[in-house]
Amino acid sequence: MLEQIGLVVAGAVVSLVFSIVFEDIARKWYGRARALKWTIMAALRSTTQHVIHDLFGIGRWRVPCVVLEGTPRHAYTPQRLTATLEQDDIRLPPELLILRERVVAQQEQAAKRTGIPTFSNGPMVALSGYRFGRRGPFEDSVLSLQFKRTDYYTFLATSMSLDEPVPGSQTAGVTVRERFLHDVDYHRPIPELATSFGVTLAVVTSDRQLVVSRRGNEGLSAYRGAFTVSVSETVNPDTDVDANRRVDIYRTALRGLAEEMGIEAEVGDIQLISLCIDTRFYQYGMTGVVHLKDLSWESLVGRRSRGIKDKWEQRDWRPINYQPESVKRFVEAEGGVGRWHPASVVAIVQALQQEFGDAEVERWLGGLN
């Protein structure tokens, strides 16, 4: 009898051990299956909702960027592009605050090792909303942007961390992108994630050379080594303001030209064309073009050789004859648009459309030549 009881107890213990072991294994596999499910759902969302049809493309060129407002035929003037800065800063949810604390800790450690952090924590703006409309007998486009104040470390913890796991998430493997952008509407910015707003400008010299460059590999958080236009500058809410202390996007463009190219331009030289979003990093910004009246390619190279403030951001400058066919040959010879900063591709194509018209640009870049 005792032997039978012992066998029963032993069997129960063995069953309990096996159930615990297999339950633990099952739980792990269930967590992995859930993570895979979220990944697949996110991929399906990004290809079945509004994204795939709106991604900027011409011919075989397609980049992860969506044009929200604006057209090359109706560039914005300073009177029709305004911006306001709200008094309240953005407030991150607890999960993103943890990520920001990690960024701060990492930069403090870097400063202890080398004397300076890898990234400096400068002021930035987050897009909280925008309004658009028409004005006057010709129905000119009007765009009003609303910003909240933020900083570079918040940008690193949000926009640059979209594919990081959410801290403290009860579902293993859920990323920031899946948690906060799973049903995103790009026309309704989420300021807690849209923590960078910049100006991307195609620059054309007086002797009709489009100036492009390669981004550096140090001190930059995104698109390292990618091809880009020669001006890509983020809005600084402390310096890029008018006499009434209102944010002025044109001042951002002027500062970018001065710091990245050594050019002292005027507002009238700049044409801002469209409001876009880089869907890879959830970055909003304006694209545009600048035609330099008195500066040739040779003059620009001379200025670069004598030193400019943000020379380190660009490894070199390269000239492209300002014609659709020349741009196409350069891009394809260098590996295609996949090697480019997406908003730069948008700015270049829009500049060409403005100069040569849609039909001519489509004939070359659309592969119909």
What are 66-87's pLDDT values in tens digits? Answer: 999 999 988 999 999 999 999 8
Q: How many residues does the chain have?
A: 369
Structure confidence by residue, pLDDT tens digits, 154-204: 999 999 999 999 987 566 789 999 999 988 999 999 999 999 999 999 999
Contact in structure between 191 and 86 (CB atoms under 8 Å): no
Task: Please tell me the predicted confidence (pLDDT) of residue 119.
Answer: 87
Task: Please tell me the predicted confidence (pLDDT) of residue 53.
Answer: 57
Task: Indicate whether 7 pLDDT > 50.
Answer: no
Chain mean pLDDT for the chain: 84
* Residue from 56, 127, 132 nearest 86 by CA: 127
Structure confidence by residue, pLDDT tens digits, 257-278: 999 999 999 999 999 999 999 9
Task: Indicate whether 30 pLDDT > 90.
Answer: no
Task: Please tell me the predicted confidence (pLDDT) of residue 272.
Answer: 97
* CATH number for the segment(s) 49-365: 3.90.79.10
Task: Please tell me the predicted confidence (pLDDT) of residue 219.
Answer: 53
The Cα–Cα gap between 273 and 27 comes to 52
Task: Please tell me the predicted confidence (pLDDT) of residue 26.
Answer: 41
Task: Please tell me the predicted confidence (pLDDT) of residue 40.
Answer: 40
Give mean pLDDT, residues 52-65: 87
Task: Please tell me the predicted confidence (pLDDT) of residue 332.
Answer: 93
Task: Please tell me the predicted confidence (pLDDT) of residue 8.
Answer: 42
Task: Indicate whether 229 pLDDT > 50.
Answer: yes
The model's confidence at residue 362, banded by pLDDT at 50, 70 and 90, is very high
Task: Please tell me the predicted confidence (pLDDT) of residue 19.
Answer: 43
Task: Please tell me the predicted confidence (pLDDT) of residue 198.
Answer: 96
SS3 217: coil
Structure confidence by residue, pLDDT tens digits, 94-130: 999 999 999 999 999 999 998 988 888 999 999 999 9
* Residue from 292, 252, 254, 274 nearest 345 by CA: 274
Give mean pLDDT, residues 227-244: 93
More confidently predicted of 255 and 43? 255
CA 116 vs CA 109, 120, 152, 221, 314: distances in Å = 9, 8, 15, 16, 21
The model's confidence at residue 54, banded by pLDDT at 50, 70 and 90, is confident
* Residue from 159, 105, 138 nearest 281 by CA: 159
**Annotated domain spans of the chain:** 1-48, 49-365
